[in-house]
Chains A and B, each alone.
Chain A
Amino acid sequence: MVKIVDVRINGRGGQGAVTASRLLAEAAILEGQYVHAFPNFGPERAGAPVTSFSRICSEPFTEKTEVYNPDIVVVIDSSLLGEVQVVEGLKLGGTIICNYEGKIESLKYYFEEVDSKIYKISGTRIAREELGINKPNMVMLGALLKVAPVVKLESLIKVTKERFKGVIGEKNAKAMKRAYNEVEL
């Protein structure tokens, strides 16, 4: 059976978690893959913890549920770490990518009992430096593609540039490439 990849993005309202899961899915569609991507809707406001999902597979699939057992969890905001169970439902041996400024060792401290690969990226710093604002959503996707190539970086850059026309798209593309290279285990 062909493997379905489930990605969950944990973020805060306003950080672009929804946009990120959508663009990831659009990139997959661009490559001819099949997707089901949607945010978990509820009473979300700016700043509240939100999740959104992308389910990606190279073959058509019929599942229509939320993602309960993700293969990959992307944490856009490190302040979520103590607040919500970002590892909830994560598959054994799954992947966590976290936007974290500190040392990787201190990040691992949060996930002591979790059997998963933990990656760290200074997403906020990259976003501040490259974009000028704290919108690390696309940066995190750049890092994601390095550790789990669900889609090609070029496809993601292409849909990003389509979504954010002009200079913002260019900046995001650059930030993604940088994140792609800077992610650490």
Chain B
Amino acid sequence: MINPIVKGMTGDEAVAWAAKQINPDVIAAYPITPQTIIVERFSDYVNDGLVDTSYIPVESEHSAMSACVGASATGARVFTATASAGLALMYEILYVASGMRLPIVLAVANRAFSAPINIHGECTDQMVCRDASWISLFGETAQEAYDETIMSFKIGENPEIMLPTMFGIEGFIVTHALERVDTLPDKAVKDFLGDKRVIPPCCTFNPFAVGTFGSLVLQDNYMELKRQQEEAMHKAYYVTKNVMAEFSEISGRNYEIIEKYKLEDAEYAFVSYGATAGNAKAVVDRLREKGEKVGTLKIRLYRPYPASDIYEALKGIKAVSVLDRSATFGSPATIAQGDLAAALYGKEDVPTLHGYINGLGGRVLLLPEIEQIYEQSKNYHEEGKALTQDWIGYRR
């Protein structure tokens, strides 16, 4: 373990600081609240000569991701950041990046979609990109934001994977909140990632290895190429595990693709991701003091979905409440609940699932509300209800 350098940083500052230590070759970004501070700080670093990065200011997120695609195709290490509407505007190019197998890293400051216009935290923006063949992580704290920035590069750039990675931190509650962050020395970050990206042959676009990228592929080969992405995603699960184990070793902080909190003897559990997990843990502590057998599971790696790990963790639990900070409408289950249900379907000894859409547009899911959810899931379990979906924390 390497001795940390303790700093007080907001989530955005932590990401910018990690990016500074990584010193990527190219950043192309467009500002959008609550992500702005990341690229703002980073442009300071560029201006002050602290990094060698080419900073490409662009006129929209669509262009930002397009510039990233071009840069990454040459073998450069590329980073960008966005949020909400910006991510939606990037959506088209997200598929280009993953289809061309370019390990771009994207920091998402999760923010609600318009309309009505809202700048606050909510994870819907990242959730709608879950099928874009991007590796997808969620961070709970500024510390995780810092660590995941570093780990994302290592995961995506693995020659076996070559997929872009995005990680999300929730707007304001993480991005703008000052927290204690244990940072690594520059050298440790360099050693962890290596100076340059490892470029597998036949995958670059430079004068010495000319090739055609993103060419027209029709019925003849398209499906094979998509299948390649699926297989890379599958491998990404193992690679992420390894990278997290490696990072845990140098940082001394224990990283796993899912985080189990007091689940060993639990009868009931919460499942969540991002900052909500922090509140869930606080409630678990409170309930445990009252003698309730409850735990919580945080999904850190959302794509590839760690189905088997989650099943192992939740096996034997009576009922699980999914705290889902993202909206879906007219759906049979909340987004995270749907994935969870698929992961558990047909297995033995699985809990009943209750999904709660909460915290939209920066609304805070209060701790007493989480306790209320716990009581409700107990009732549901006793009544024998298997799958329910509800909203919590709104006025009737």
- How far, in angstroms, from A41 to B173 measured CA to CA in the complex? 10
- How far, in angstroms, from A61 to B173 measured CA to CA in the complex? 14
CB distance B366 to A29 under 8 Å?
no
For window 1-58 of chain B, which residues contact chain A by CB distance below 8 Å?
6-8, 10
Interface locus among A30-38, A99-107, A110-118, A165-173 = A30-38
CB distance B179 to A63 under 8 Å?
no
From A26, A33, A37, A64, give the contact of B279 (CB < 8 A).
Answer: A64
- How far, in angstroms, from A39 to B37 measured CA to CA in the complex? 15
CB distance A25 to B176 under 8 Å?
no
Contacts of B174 in A (CB 8 A): 64
CB distance B176 to A35 under 8 Å?
no
- How far, in angstroms, from A63 to B368 measured CA to CA in the complex? 12
CB distance A63 to B8 under 8 Å?
no
Q: How far is the CB of B365 from chain A (nearest CB, A)?
A: 8
- How far, in angstroms, from A36 to B9 measured CA to CA in the complex? 10
CB distance B282 to A63 under 8 Å?
yes
CB distance B366 to A65 under 8 Å?
yes
- Output the nearest chain B residue to A41 by Cβ-Cβ distance: B172
B70 within 8 A of A: no
From B120, B178, B279, give the contact of A63 (CB < 8 A).
Answer: B279
Contacts of A29 in B (CB 8 A): 6-8, 180
B387 within 8 A of A: no
Contacts of A33 in B (CB 8 A): 180
A22 within 8 A of B: yes
> How many contacting A-B pairs (Cβ < 8 A)?
67
CB distance A38 to B364 under 8 Å?
no
CB distance B178 to A22 under 8 Å?
yes
Q: How far is the CB of A68 from chain B (nearest CB, A)?
A: 7
For window 31-59 of chain A, which residues contact chain B by CB distance below 8 Å?
32-39, 41
CB distance A35 to B282 under 8 Å?
no
CB distance B279 to A38 under 8 Å?
no
CB distance B119 to A35 under 8 Å?
no
A62 within 8 A of B: yes
Q: Encode B352-396 as 1/0 by CB contact (under 8 A) with A.
A: 000000000000111100000000000000000000000000000
B275 within 8 A of A: yes
- How far, in angstroms, from A115 to B275 measured CA to CA in the complex? 33
Interface size class, chain B: 20 to 34
Contacts of B279 in A (CB 8 A): 62-65
- How far, in angstroms, from A37 to B177 measured CA to CA in the complex? 5
B281 within 8 A of A: yes
B278 within 8 A of A: yes
- How far, in angstroms, from A22 to B13 measured CA to CA in the complex? 13
CB distance B178 to A65 under 8 Å?
no
Contacts of B366 in A (CB 8 A): 65, 68
User: Provided the pairs A29-B8, A63-B367, A64-B275 are in contact, do residues A38 and B180 lie with their beta carbons within 8 angstroms?
Assistant: no
CB distance B173 to A64 under 8 Å?
yes
* Residue with the highest number of chain A CB atoms closer than 10 Å, among B173, B180, B276, B365: B180
Contacts of B282 in A (CB 8 A): 61-63
Q: How far is the CB of B321 from chain A (nearest CB, A)?
A: 17
CB distance B367 to A38 under 8 Å?
no
CB distance B364 to A65 under 8 Å?
yes
Contacts of B173 in A (CB 8 A): 38, 64-65
From B7, B119, B281, give the contact of A41 (CB < 8 A).
Answer: B119
18 A-B contacts (beta carbon < 8 Å): A1-B285, A26-B178, A34-B179, A35-B8, A37-B177, A37-B179, A38-B173, A38-B178, A39-B176, A41-B119, A61-B282, A62-B140, A62-B277, A62-B279, A62-B281, A64-B174, A64-B275, A64-B278
Interfacial residues, chain A to chain B (CB-CB below 8 A): 1, 21-22, 25-26, 29-30, 32-39, 41, 61-66, 68
Closest 6 CB pairs of A and B: A38-B177, A62-B278, A29-B8, A64-B278, A62-B281, A37-B178
